[in-house]
Amino acid sequence: MKIGEFNELTLLRFTSVGAYLCDEEDNDVLLPNKYLTDDMDLDDKLTVFVYRDSEDRAVATTETPRIQMNGYAYLKVTSVNHFGAFVDWGLEKELMIPFKEQNLKLEEDRYYLTRLMLDESTDRVVGSTKINKYLEECSKEYDPNEEVDIMICDITDLGVKVIVEGKYSGLIFRSDISRELRRGELTKGYVSKTREDGKLDVRLDKVGFEKIDEEAERLLGIIKERGTISITDKSDPDTIRETVGMSKKTFKKAVGSLYKKRLIALKEDRIEYLGD
């Protein structure tokens, strides 16, 4: 039975306090009454999350935590005491972040990027904010059009930090941010470069002619609908992003594509639609 993870278990017996579930090795765990439903019966297969309660006993729940084992999420600190900080992870018993796993002093009512892990010395699930300690160096060279899972993290002067595929550190440069991003958001992206230090340069959009054609078509639709847009390839990146929802680099390539096809006219302070 895996602590801190979902387990598929068999309903073994009912008691006054709940139902006992067992795995294939006959390890059993209590599913308290509050999680039982009328349709549960003996020998049913149930998928439950197993962790340890305040008395260090293994217990099962049908609730889903906000974070998965070895995964990351922004969690709110609810209290701090001499043991460490406690965060709300969606289950009845709050998750502890020991002082030794804090990269800075945690404060109540603030959200921190947290990793869920198993403390092998105690067999307890704990959290850690020492994120860099657990991220790996990447040696893989990605196809620039290969879609990857990314988690949006903190904003820096260079851009937005991300976690790629749940294990690599990455950065989306400001010039490549084509839409509003929320901290903790899970989305898709593309790796444009694997750096020598094992970190990744990431884009939100595909690179190459396929992407430019898509964006050129979208930009043409915007210009066609409005007749004209009051930006040019000399406008600042934030204005371009707010007006058409794409990075300045992508915008310039899309404009170039449309101009070559004589679908738009470039004026000093605007771009006009020329018609079909």
Nearest to 231 by CA among 222, 220, 240, 241: 240
For residue 205, the model assigns a pLDDT of 82
Q: pLDDT tens digits, the chain, 276 residues: what are they?
A: 899 999 999 999 999 999 999 999 999 999 999 999 999 999 999 999 999 887 888 999 999 999 999 999 999 999 999 999 999 999 989 999 999 999 999 999 999 999 999 988 888 899 999 999 999 999 999 988 899 999 999 988 899 999 999 999 999 998 888 788 999 999 999 999 999 999 999 998 876 655 667 888 889 999 989 999 999 989 999 999 999 998 888 899 899 988 888 889 999 899 999 875
Single pTM value for the model: 0.74
The domain spans of the chain are: 5-61, 72-133, 147-203, 209-273
- C-alpha closest to that of 266 among 254, 176, 276: 254
Query: Residue 29: how many CA atoms within 13 Å on its side-chain side?
Result: 27
Which phi and psi angles does 108 have, rounded to 5°?
-60, 145
How does strand 95-98 pair with strand 228-229? Answer: unpaired
Q: Which pLDDT does position 201 carry in this prediction? A: 96
With beta carbons less than 8 A apart as the criterion, state whether 191 and 200 touch: yes
CATH level 3 topology of 72-133: OB fold (Dihydrolipoamide Acetyltransferase, E2P) (2.40.50)
CATH fold for domain 147-203: OB fold (Dihydrolipoamide Acetyltransferase, E2P) (2.40.50)
Q: In the numeric block, which tokens belong to residue 185?
A: 């958001």
* CATH T-level fold of 5-61: OB fold (Dihydrolipoamide Acetyltransferase, E2P) (2.40.50)
Domains 72-133 and 147-203 equal at CATH topology level: yes
CATH architecture, domain 209-273? Orthogonal Bundle (1.10)
Question: Measured between alpha carbons, how far is residue 37 from residues 34, 41, 90, 236 in Å?
Answer: 8, 9, 20, 58
Residue 240 phi, psi (nearest 5): -65, -45
